Amino acid sequence: MLSTAMLADAVILQPDFVVIDVETACSRVSSICQIGIVGFRDGCEIFDYETLVDPHDEFHLFNTRIHGIAEHHVVGQPSFADVHAIVDRHLSGRTTVAHSYFDKGALAAACRVHDRPAIETVWLDSVRVAKRAWPDLESHRLGLLARYLGIAHKHHDALSDARAAGWVIVKAIDHTGIALDEWLAPPRKPGPAPRPAFSGPLAGERIALLGAPRDGALAERIAALGGRIVSAVGNTTTLLVIAGRAPFSYSVRNSGAYRRAEHYRRLGGAIRIVSDFELGVADGVAGPTGA
């Protein structure tokens, strides 16, 4: 990875995407007091940029307790107007990632307050990406994602937050096979679940899926065998079918669907947790092994 001293040369490398994170001094989102930017290309970091910023605004104790930056830390530091050109150079005309759209709003507000042009970039929310890549995690907060994915992270440090959000994107691309440009497209809304056949070895089963859409190929195979696909695990669900994964992996056991199924089992419910392979409905499997 290139150091901040090599930023000018790094720009020539044309990152696939850049990531930005900002910290603010008070409740006004324009009060940016730290900026971190990291560029990624081919799944690797190629440059980073970090600076403290004098927001020319008051510091609230609540904010300082979160990120540790106080008024005396920014004495003599550049204002947002001073660093606007640097930020614009790294973001303008590129895909910019932020973990939620707080940073997008903060940049827009700071541009207005400091009378600087809006930064024209294509925004990608890494929260949305994480929810699609790992839909069954109970939380998609950056700190929890970093722990789950094994990403080194110091929360509420702008550069560390930007770096972690960038690695979320890299790992989501690796995990799902969905390319960056596809993440930029609006998410597909799931269609209705297929209607179950009138009879079959899964007739009477109410089945929730983990790791597969309710309108996909796995759902079609289950419906053809008489199973009814439900949208979520509930007290009438009889099967939680885990698609293409080890049924007791860490990610599965920590998913909301798995925990709800375990909850209903403890209450005496009849729900069972099986993999699509065990049930005999995995892609390429000849038929059900029994419900």
Mean pLDDT of 224-244: 92
Residue whose tokens read 């910019």: 96
**Residue 212 is part of a domain; what is its CATH number?**
3.40.50
Residue 58 one-letter amino acid:
E
Token pair of 188 as six digits: 């597909």
pTM over cut 0.85: no
| 161 and 274 inside one domain | no
The per-residue pLDDT for 1 is 52
Q: How many CB atoms lie within 10 A of CB 48?
A: 21
Reported as a single tens digit per residue, the pLDDT across 103-161 is: 999 999 999 999 999 999 999 999 999 998 888 788 899 999 999 999 999 999 999 99
| C-beta of residue 111 within 8 angstroms of C-beta of residue 118 | yes
Higher pLDDT, 214 or 46: 46
For residue 227, the enclosing domain spans: 206-279
| 222 and 178 inside one domain | no
| C-beta of residue 47 within 8 angstroms of C-beta of residue 1 | yes
Q: Is residue 286 part of a domain?
A: no
| 53 and 12 inside one domain | yes
Q: Is residue 285 part of a domain?
A: no
CA distance 85 to 88: 5
Q: Is residue 247 part of a domain?
A: yes
| Domains of the chain: total | 2
| 176 and 211 inside one domain | no
- Would you say how long the chain is, in residues? 291
Residue 6, pLDDT above cutoff 90: no
Full DSSP string of 17-37: EEEEEEEESSSSTT-EEEEEE
Reported as a single tens digit per residue, the pLDDT across 60-117 is: 999 999 999 999 999 999 999 999 999 999 999 999 999 999 999 999 999 999 999 9
Q: Is residue 194 part of a domain?
A: no
Q: Which one of 154, 184, 214 terminates a domain?
A: 184
Mean pLDDT of 217-226: 94
| 138 and 256 inside one domain | no
Band (177; pLDDT cuts 50, 70, 90): confident
Q: How far is CA 261 from the centre of its chain?
A: 24
